[in-house]
Amino acid sequence: MTRTVPADAAIRPVATTDAPADAPSAGRASAFLHPATLLAVLLCACLAMLAWAGVNRPAAVPDFHGRVAGLAFSPFQRGQSPEDGSFPTTEEIRRDLATAAGITDRIRTYTVQGRMADIPRLAAGMNLHVTLGAWLSRDAAANRQELDRLIETARGAHNVERAMVGNETVLRGDLTVGELVNYLNQARQSLDIPVSTAEPWHVWLKHPELAQAVDFITIHLLPYWEGLPVDDAQRFLLEKLAAVHAAFPGKRIVIGEVGWPSDGVAQGAAHASRVNQALFLRRFFADAQAHGLDYFVMEAFDQPWKTSFEGRAAGYWGMLDLDRQAKWAMVGPVEETPSWPLWAAPSAGLAAVIAWLLLSRRPDIRLPGKLLLAGLAQGFAATLACVLLAMAGKYLSAWAGVVWGLLAAGQALLLVLLLADSFELAETIWGRVWRRRPAILPAPMDAPLPKVSIHVPICNEPPHMVRRTLDALAELDYPDFEVLVVDNNTTDPGLWEPVAEHCSRLGPRFRFFTLGRWPGFKAGALNFALRETAADADVVAVLDSDYAVSPDWLRCMVPQFANPAVGFVQSPQDYRDSGETFFKRLMFWEYAGFFHLGMVTRNERNAIIQHGTMTLIRKQALVALDGWAEWCICEDAELGLRLFRQGWQAVYSSRSFGRGVMPDDFAAYRKQRFRWAYGAMQICRRHWAALLNPFNRDLTLGQRWHFVTGWLPWVGDALGLVFLLLGLGWSVGLILAPQRFEFPIVLFMLPSVGLFVFKLVQILMLYRNRVPCGLADRAGAAVAGLALSHAIGKAVWKGLVVRSAPFLRTPKMKDAPALVQGLVMAREEAVLLLLTLAALVGVAVAHRFATWEAVLWSLVLLTQALPYAASVFVSIAASRPARRLVPALRPAASPQPALPQGAEWSHSAAGD
Tell me whether the omega of the peptide bond preceding residue 299 falls within 30 degrees of 0, making it cis. yes
pLDDT bin (cut points 50, 70, 90) of residue 100 is: very high
Q: Give pLDDT tens digits for 761-792.
A: 999 999 999 898 999 999 999 999 999 999 99
Higher per-residue confidence, 467 vs 723: 467
Q: How far separated are the first and last CA of the chain, in Å rounded?
A: 18
pLDDT bin (cut points 50, 70, 90) of residue 180 is: very high
Q: Give the pLDDT mean for 524-545.
A: 97
> Taking 90 as the threshold, does the pLDDT of residue 478 lie above it?
yes
Q: Range with the lowest mean pLDDT among 12-21, 216-225, 877-886?
A: 12-21
- In the prediction, which pLDDT does 409 show? 85
DSSP symbols for 650-672: EEE--S--EEB---SSHHHHHHH
Shortest CA distance to 390 belongs to which of 455, 504, 451, 312?
A: 312
Q: Give the pLDDT mean for 814-826.
A: 66
pLDDT bin (cut points 50, 70, 90) of residue 805 is: low
| Contact indicator for 266, 853 with CB cutoff of 8 Å | yes
- In the prediction, which pLDDT does 804 show? 61
pLDDT bin (cut points 50, 70, 90) of residue 880 is: confident
Q: Give the pLDDT mean for 543-558.
A: 96
Q: Tell me how far apart the alpha carbons of residues 905 and 894 are, in angstroms, rounded to a whole number.
A: 14
pLDDT bin (cut points 50, 70, 90) of residue 487 is: very high
| Contact indicator for 283, 234 with CB cutoff of 8 Å | yes
Q: Give the pLDDT mean for 40-45.
A: 96
Q: Tell me how far apart the alpha carbons of residues 151 and 291 are, in angstroms, rounded to a whole number.
A: 33
Classified as helix, coil or strand, 481 is strand
Query: Mean pLDDT score of the chain, rounded to an integer?
Result: 89
- In the prediction, which pLDDT does 885 show? 56
Please state the pTM of the whole predicted model: 0.82
- In the prediction, which pLDDT does 815 show? 53
For the chain, the residue count is 912
Q: Which residues pair with 905 in a beta bridge?
A: 434
- In the prediction, which pLDDT does 750 show? 76
* CA distances, 802 to each of 673, 681, 796, 806 (Å): 17, 10, 10, 11
| Contact indicator for 93, 122 with CB cutoff of 8 Å | yes
Note the maximum CA span of the chain: 119
* CA distances, 369 to each of 375, 772, 778 (Å): 10, 21, 22
- In the prediction, which pLDDT does 904 show? 36
- In the prediction, which pLDDT does 172 show? 94
pLDDT bin (cut points 50, 70, 90) of residue 852 is: confident
* CA distances, 346 to each of 45, 350, 352, 422 (Å): 11, 6, 10, 21
Q: Domains in the chain, please, with CATH? A: 23-56+337-433 (no CATH), 72-315 (3.20.20.80), 451-665 (3.90.550.10), 666-900+907-912 (no CATH)
Q: Give the pLDDT mean for 349-372.
A: 93
Q: Give the pLDDT mean for 50-60.
A: 95
- In the prediction, which pLDDT does 673 show? 95
- In the prediction, which pLDDT does 378 show? 96
- In the prediction, which pLDDT does 8 show? 35
Sign of the torsion angle spanned by Cα atoms 403, 404, 405, 408? positive
Shortest CA distance to 268 belongs to which of 244, 232, 237, 298?
A: 232
> Taking 60 as the threshold, does the pLDDT of residue 896 lie above it?
no
- In the prediction, which pLDDT does 33 show? 75
